[in-house]
Amino acid sequence: MDQQEIEQVVCIVTEEVLRYLGAAGGSPEAGGERDDEICPGCDQNCVEKCSRKTRAVVDAGADRISCGPAVIQLEAGFAGLIDHTLLKPEASRDEIRKLCKEAARFGFASVCINPWNVPLAAEMLRGTSVKVCTVVGFPLGATLPQVKIHEAEEAIKLGAQEIDMVINIGALKSGQDDVVESDIRGVVEASHRGGAICKVILETALLTIEEKVRGSAATKRAGADFVKTSTGFSTAGATAEDVALMRAVVGSEIGVKAAGGVRSFEDLKKMVCAGATRIGASASVKIMEQAAGAAPTSASDAGSAAARSFT
């Protein structure tokens, strides 16, 4: 992809993101009451904007959709979008146990933890629907490709079912897209050989719009299962604008994970509305409480409740 082609893609994607977020003017009228008719001003994005047509798609078998504000009434099953995350280096074994209990209690998609904690999480979550997710080349992405591959392989042997890898950010900013793609592909292939899925972290806070487009495109070409915004350890986390941009680049073929700074139910809804199909959050329990309209409980109360439910 030469510079002219990149600029054309950036222009097209930026216009699409602005249209999606409503920054380009009035949005077409949604036709939520007329499933079998063409609605006035229809732009063929019915599944994004019409609640009844979205429900028809779900009933037909879809398990994940990208939607707009008109259909953002998330139901109880939204817990399955969340990777319950604890990646701070000082996390204790007791904190990891608590994380796993909470994940099992609420039915989160996974727990996302550092590789050292994979065996403990795998043991605690055996027999539940919660996956064990771990990180590779984290959080800087500057690890050698062969080390990332080995790290992924070893983590999978220990029980990891999902791998979140950080790209070579410096290579992307240097215009070495082939290096970035090769680095991603190595971990993707290692993950798939082990029966795991692979999510690719761009660290969007450090990138220009052009670099986000190129990074997302490289992720898709390399065969990854998700493209992900952030590690949560950089200067900023996910934004709805970045999620929408990444979704516009990768299309519907792979997932988009929003992570970093998703601390409330409103944050989660914004990310899903922009196109995210997975959310990384350490405030997952708080999000669930807000969604249920419950008053936040103390950390000790939440832990005790989780322990009772888990056992």
Please identify which of the residues 101, 131, 148, 164 carries the catalytic annotation.
164
Which of 72, 74, 70 has its CA nearest to residue 32?
70
What is the phi/psi pair of residue 208, to 5°? -80, 170
Determine if the peptide bond prior to 69 is cis (ω within 30°).
no
SS3 content of the chain, % helix, strand, coil (to 5): 50, 10, 35
Q: Is 228 a catalytic residue?
A: yes
Q: Is 212 a catalytic residue?
A: no
Please identify which of the residues 53, 212, 220, 228 carries the catalytic annotation.
228
- Rg of the chain on CA atoms, in Å: 20
Q: Using CA atoms, how far apart are residues 34 and 32, in angstroms rounded to an integer?
A: 6
Which of 255, 256, 167 has its CA nearest to residue 211?
167
Please identify which of the residues 212, 257, 269, 270 carries the catalytic annotation.
257
Interaxial angle between packed helices 284-292 and 93-106, expressed in degrees from 0 to 180 and rounded to the nearest 10: 30
Q: Using CA atoms, how far apart are residues 58 and 146, in angstroms rounded to an integer?
A: 41
Which residues are part of the catalytic machinery?
164, 228, 257
